[in-house]
Amino acid sequence: MIHVLIVEDDPMVANLNKKYVEQVDGFYITAMAANEEEAIHCLEECRVDLILLDVYMPGRNGLQLLKELRRKEEQVDVILITAASEKEQIQKALRLGAIDYLIKPFEFDRLQGALGKYKEKYAVFEDKQNVSQDEIDRIFIPQENRQENKRIQVPKGLTQNTLELIIRRIRTKENEAFSTDEIAQDTEVSRVSVRKYLKFLKEIDFLEETLVYGVGRPVYQYQIKNTGDLDLEFYH
């Protein structure tokens, strides 16, 4: 669980940000602070992995607080959330190590994306002494570029003909959601086998998976997430 400190002097905005964060899996609001003094106290008393930090606050502003955190070598990451859109402010924030910069007003999807990216980075470094180049690339190279520049290795047990057949059938669905059973029926491949291929396509971000509850048992539904070409490498 990633522990979050919200630093925001406007109670309404602070509660809205809290509500947004609580909608994203894997994040927990450790504390909320309205100024620098309260934020420092929270850092001393609580575990904090990530700060959502406003720039304009009473007393010292958020950039000054961020500079102080870096001077003290606090082991915490910071996402700035502010109405300040001046180039100099943004550049200074990035140079001080802010991992993202959200300009008010922003949509939930933008914050969700920032938290998702941070969660991916957090997972790479958690409980590890060393990281691989592939893991570092996951942090610094956007997903779409990684898929364009890197061949995707298909796990053993998945055959080229069957995978290409399933992908062709999926592409005919375009934006339409579909289930494992539908693809199994369309391709005449067993449901168990189709499930393995769909799981792989979900893992490489070609498909988006959603668990749908209705009458009877829950059903996994899929939609195409990435319409680009897949550069697949098969074992021989």
HSE on the CB side for 35, CA within 13 Å? 4
Report residue 53 as tokens.
């930090």
Q: Per CATH, which fold does 152-233 belong to?
A: Arc Repressor Mutant, subunit A (1.10.10)
Q: Could you tell me the residue ranges of all domains in the chain?
A: 2-134, 152-233
Reply yes or no on whether the pLDDT at 124 is more than 80: no
Q: Please measure the distance between the N-terminal and C-terminal CA atoms of the chain and give it in whole angstroms.
A: 40
Reported pTM: 0.57
User: For 196-223, what is the mean pLDDT?
Assistant: 87
Q: What is the mean pLDDT of the chain?
A: 85
Confidence at residue 178, expressed as pLDDT on a 0 to 100 scale: 94
Largest CA distance in the chain: 68
76-80, 138-142, 214-218: least confidently modelled range? 138-142
Question: For residue 123, what pLDDT band results from cuts at 50, 70 and 90?
Answer: confident
- Is-contact 139 124, C-beta < 8 A? yes
Q: Per CATH, which fold does 2-134 belong to?
A: Rossmann fold (3.40.50)
Confidence at residue 222, expressed as pLDDT on a 0 to 100 scale: 94
- Cα separation of 52 and 213, whole Å? 34
Report residue 12 as tokens.
């309404």
Segment 18-41, tens digit of pLDDT: 999 999 989 999 999 998 889 999
